[in-house]
Amino acid sequence: MHIEVLTEDRSGVPVARALIPALLKEAKSDASFSVRPHRGKGYLPKDLTSRPAKFASGLLELLPAKCRAYEKAGGVDVLVVVIDADHDDPSWLYRSLEMTVRQFAPSISFVFGIAVEEMESWLLGDKEAVLAAYPKADQKVIDRYEQDSLVGTWEVLCRAIYKDKAKDIIAEGYPTTGQYKHEWATMIAPHLDPKRNKSESFQRFRQTFLRIVGGRKER
Amino acid sequence: MLIGLELTNYALFSHLSLGLTAPDVAALDDLSAVGEFYPLGQLSAIVGKNDSGKSALFAALGFLSDCLIHDVPFASAAGTRGGFAALKTHGSEGPMRLSMTFRKDRETFLTYSVGLDSDVHNRPYVKDEDVLLTTFKDGKKETRTLLQVAGGEGKVVARNGEESVAMVDRRHLSLGAYGRLLNYADLCWIYAQITRWFIASDDTEEEPLTGHTKGGHRHVSPRFDNIRNVLEYMEREDPRRYEETLAYIRERVPDFKRIGDAFLDHGQRSGSKRLFSLLLLLTDPKPRPLLCLDYPDQQMYHDAIDVLMFEIREYLRRHPTCQIFLTTYNPNTIEALRPGEVYLFERPEENSSVKVHAVGRSEKVRAMLKEGIGMASIWYGGYFEPEPK
Whole-number pLDDT of residue B264: 66
Residues B101 and B136 in one domain: yes
Is B96 or B212 the better-scoring residue by pLDDT? B96
The Cα A98–Cα B349 span in angstroms is 40
User: From the candidates B377, B379, B380, which should be mutated to test the interface with A, based on the most A CB atoms within 10 A?
Assistant: B377
Q: Minimum mean pLDDT among A115-119, B100-104, B289-293: which range?
A: A115-119
Q: Do A39 and B363 touch (CB under 8 A)?
A: no
In one-letter notation, the amino acid at residue A103 is Q
The Cα A72–Cα A69 span in angstroms is 5
Of the candidates B111, B99, B18, the one whose C-alpha atom is nearest the C-alpha of residue B360 is B18
Q: Do B371 and A33 touch (CB under 8 A)?
A: no
Which of B199, B232, B257 marks a domain boundary? B199
Which of B143, B166, B199 marks a domain boundary? B199
For residue B203, is pLDDT > 70? no
Which chain A positions have a beta carbon within 8 Å of B387's beta carbon?
2, 32, 34, 75
Distance between alpha carbon B151 and the CA centroid of its chain, in Å?
Answer: 28
Which chain B positions have a beta carbon within 8 Å of A105's beta carbon?
none
For residue B205, is pLDDT > 80? no
Residues B108 and B11 in one domain: yes
Residues 360-389 of B with CB under 8 A from A: 363-364, 366-368, 370-374, 376-377, 380-383, 387-389
Backbone phi, psi, residue A48, to 5°: -65, -20
User: Is residue B274 a part of any domain in this protein?
Assistant: yes
Contact predicate A35/A13, CB 8 Å: yes
The Cα A197–Cα B198 span in angstroms is 59
Each residue's pLDDT, cut to its tens digit, for chain A (219 residues) gives 999 999 999 999 999 999 999 999 999 999 999 999 999 999 999 999 999 998 999 999 999 999 999 999 999 999 999 999 999 999 999 999 999 999 999 999 999 999 988 889 999 999 999 999 999 999 999 999 888 888 888 899 999 999 988 888 888 888 888 889 999 999 999 999 999 999 999 999 999 999 999 887 554
Of the candidates B100, B10, B111, the one whose C-alpha atom is nearest the C-alpha of residue B55 is B10
**Which class does domain A2-118+198-214 fall in?**
alpha beta
Q: B84: part of which helix (H) or strand (E)?
A: helix B84-87
User: Is residue B45 a part of any domain in this protein?
Assistant: no
User: Is residue B244 a part of any domain in this protein?
Assistant: yes
B95-106 CB burial, b ≥16 within 10 A, e <16: bbbbbbbbbbee
Which of B199, B233, B260 marks a domain boundary? B199
User: Is residue B48 a part of any domain in this protein?
Assistant: no
Whole-number pLDDT of residue A116: 86
User: Is residue B156 a part of any domain in this protein?
Assistant: yes
Q: Do B388 and A33 touch (CB under 8 A)?
A: yes
Cα B336–Cα B319–Cα B287 angle in degrees, nearest 5:
105
* Count of positions (residues) in chain A: 219
Residues B119 and B75 in one domain: yes
Q: Do A51 and B389 touch (CB under 8 A)?
A: no
User: From the candidates B333, B334, B373, which should be mutated to test the interface with A, based on the most A CB atoms within 10 A?
Assistant: B373
Q: Do B373 and A69 touch (CB under 8 A)?
A: yes
Q: Do B382 and A74 touch (CB under 8 A)?
A: no
User: Is residue B369 a part of any domain in this protein?
Assistant: no
Whole-number pLDDT of residue B210: 54
**Rounded mean pLDDT, B327-347:** 94
Range of B254's domain?
A: 200-287
For residue B259, is pLDDT > 70? no
Q: Where are the domains of chain A?
A: 2-118+198-214, 121-191
Backbone phi, psi, residue A162, to 5°: -100, -10
Spell out which chain A residues touch chain B, with contact meaning CB-CB distance below 8 angstroms.
2, 32-39, 51-52, 54-57, 62, 65-66, 68-70, 72-76
**Rounded mean pLDDT, B278-294:** 93
Nearest-CB residue to B381 (from A33, A37, A51): A37
What distances in angstroms separate CA B334 from CA A6, B65, B327, B331, one per listed residue?
A: 21, 28, 10, 5
Q: A115: part of which helix (H) or strand (E)?
A: strand A109-115
Cα pseudo-dihedral B311, B312, B314, B319, rounded to 10 = 140
For residue B201, is pLDDT > 90? no
Whole-number pLDDT of residue A219: 44
**Rounded mean pLDDT, B16-28:** 96
Q: What is the mean pLDDT of chain B?
A: 90
Residues B136 and B7 in one domain: yes
Whole-number pLDDT of residue A123: 95
CB count within 10 Å of CB B250 equals 14
The Cα B164–Cα B155 span in angstroms is 4
**Rounded mean pLDDT, B308-313:** 95
Indicate the number of domains in chain B.
Answer: 2
Q: Do B335 and A55 touch (CB under 8 A)?
A: yes
pLDDT digits (tens, 9 = 90+) for B231-253: 999 999 999 999 999 899 888 88
Residues B8 and B69 in one domain: yes
Q: Do B363 and A37 touch (CB under 8 A)?
A: no
Whole-number pLDDT of residue A175: 84
Nearest-CB residue to B371 (from A39, A65, A74): A65
User: Is residue B312 a part of any domain in this protein?
Assistant: no
Residues B99 and B30 in one domain: yes
Contact predicate A114/A93, CB 8 Å: yes
Interface pTM, i.e. ipTM: 0.89
Kindly tell me the sign of the dihedral angle through the C-alpha atoms of A33, A39, A44, A45: negative
| Closest-CA residue of chain B to A3 | B388
User: From the candidates A34, A35, A51, which should be mutated to test the interface with B, based on the most B CB atoms within 10 A?
Assistant: A34
* Count of positions (residues) in chain B: 389
Residues 280-339 of B with CB under 8 A from A: 335
Residues B104 and B246 in one domain: no
Nearest-CB residue to B372 (from A33, A36, A51): A51
| Closest-CA residue of chain B to A58 | B377
The Cα B46–Cα B57 span in angstroms is 10
Is B357's Cβ below 8 Å from some Cβ in A?
no
Q: Do A55 and B377 touch (CB under 8 A)?
A: yes
The band of B266, judged by pLDDT with boundaries at 50, 70 and 90, is: low
Of the candidates B101, B107, B135, B140, the one whose C-alpha atom is nearest the C-alpha of residue B17 is B101
In one-letter notation, the amino acid at residue A161 is I
Q: Do A37 and B380 touch (CB under 8 A)?
A: yes
In one-letter notation, the amino acid at residue B189 is W
What distances in angstroms separate CA B282 from CA B110, B161, B314, B315, B373, one per listed residue?
A: 27, 41, 9, 6, 30
Residues B62 and B138 in one domain: yes
User: From the candidates B333, B357, B364, which should be mutated to test the interface with A, based on the most A CB atoms within 10 A?
Assistant: B364
Which chain A positions have a beta carbon within 8 Å of B389's beta carbon?
32
Distance from CA of B313 to the nearest CA of A (A): 20
Contact predicate B199/B62, CB 8 Å: yes
Quick one: residue B94, left, alpha or beta (phi over 0 = left, psi -120 to 50 = alpha)?
A: left
Residue % of chain B over a pLDDT of 70: 93
User: Is residue B368 a part of any domain in this protein?
Assistant: no
Nearest-CB residue to A69 (from B335, B367, B380): B367
Say which residues have a Cβ less than 8 Å from residue A46's Cβ, sequence separation at least 6: none
Backbone phi, psi, residue B6, to 5°: -135, 135
Kindly tell me the sign of the dihedral angle through the C-alpha atoms of B378, B380, B385, B389: negative
Nearest-CB residue to B373 (from A52, A72, A73): A52
